[in-house]
């Protein structure tokens, strides 16, 4: 199903790829809300007191998108998949720099009054997840990309199937397999 503006987004992507700088400005207006939704989804999984906010994450993704050399954009879903991958890289880079900083970055600061609020919330170690995804990519690039699209990009099963050019059933099967593999890998 084509959503409102999908054809327009696809055309703007082609125009932007072909060098039309104004197309990127128009594109930003059409996709900004969805990118903010993806960024908020990412940030909900982050630790308390994270120094990066969803707006900053979107802005950094825009900066990196502008730097990306010519991409043969397929469609709107392909754009969001690339944007989600960029957001993943930004958060992983941020986590790595925080974890390895000389100021005790590996330690997480949490006030006692906030401790019970986060006690039952499962934290995701983005560095460990990134390492696991890189390992998965050596086994199956397809499954790694599927995880990026579903987990980071927030794409539905149908949208993921469209981007990957596979069936709905294949995405469901591979999604279950990939999650199980990642869960096992991250528990090591």
Same domain, 88 and 23: yes
Q: How many domains does the chain have?
A: 2
Question: Per the domain annotation, does 163 fall within a domain?
Answer: yes
Is residue 4 within 8 A of residue 76, CB to CB? The reply is no
- Rounded Cα distance between 151 and 163, Å, is 14
pLDDT score for 25: 87
pLDDT score for 173: 94
pLDDT by residue (tens digit) across 31-58? 888 888 888 877 776 666 666 778 888 8
Is residue 14 within 8 A of residue 90, CB to CB? The reply is no
Of 106, 138, 162, which one is at a domain's C-terminal end? 106
- Rounded Cα distance between 86 and 70, Å, is 15
Question: Per the domain annotation, does 181 fall within a domain?
Answer: yes
Question: Per the domain annotation, does 113 fall within a domain?
Answer: no
Helix-strand-coil split of the chain, %, nearest 5: 70, 0, 30
Question: What residues make up the domain containing 129?
Answer: 124-188
Give the mean pLDDT per block of 10 residues along the chain (188 residues). Answer: 66 87 88 86 68 82 78 82 85 77 48 40 69 90 88 82 90 92 84
Same domain, 31 and 85: yes
Whether the pTM exceeds 0.75: the reply is: no
Most distant CA atoms of the chain, gap in Å = 54
Six-digit token pair at 143?
């499954």
Question: Per the domain annotation, does 114 fall within a domain?
Answer: no
Same domain, 95 and 146: no
Question: Per the domain annotation, does 70 fall within a domain?
Answer: yes
pLDDT by residue (tens digit) across 68-77? 757 788 888 8
In CATH, what number is assigned to the domain containing residue 33? 1.10.1740
């Amino acid at each position: 199903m084509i959503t409102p503006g999908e054809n327009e987004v696809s055309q703007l992507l082609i125009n932007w790829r072909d060098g039309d700088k104004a197309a990127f400005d128009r594109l930003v207006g059409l996709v900004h809300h969805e990118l903010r939704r993806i960024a908020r989804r990412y940030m909900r999984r982050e630790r308390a007191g994270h120094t990066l906010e969803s707006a900053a994450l979107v802005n950094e993704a825009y900066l990196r998108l502008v730097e990306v050399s010519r991409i043969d954009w397929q469609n709107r879903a392909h754009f969001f998949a690339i944007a989600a991958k960029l957001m993943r890289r930004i958060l992983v880079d941020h986590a790595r720099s925080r974890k390895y900083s000389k100021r005790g970055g590996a330690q997480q600061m949490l006030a006692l009054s906030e401790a019970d609020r986060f006690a039952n919330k499962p934290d995701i170690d983005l560095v460990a997840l990134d390492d696991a995804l890189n390992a998965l990519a050596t086994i199956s690039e397809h499954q790694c990309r599927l995880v990026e699209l579903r987990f980071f990009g927030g794409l539905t099963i149908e949208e993921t199937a469209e981007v990957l050019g596979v069936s709905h059933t294949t995405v469901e099967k591979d999604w279950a397999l990939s999650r199980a593999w990642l869960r096992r890998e991250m528990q090591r």
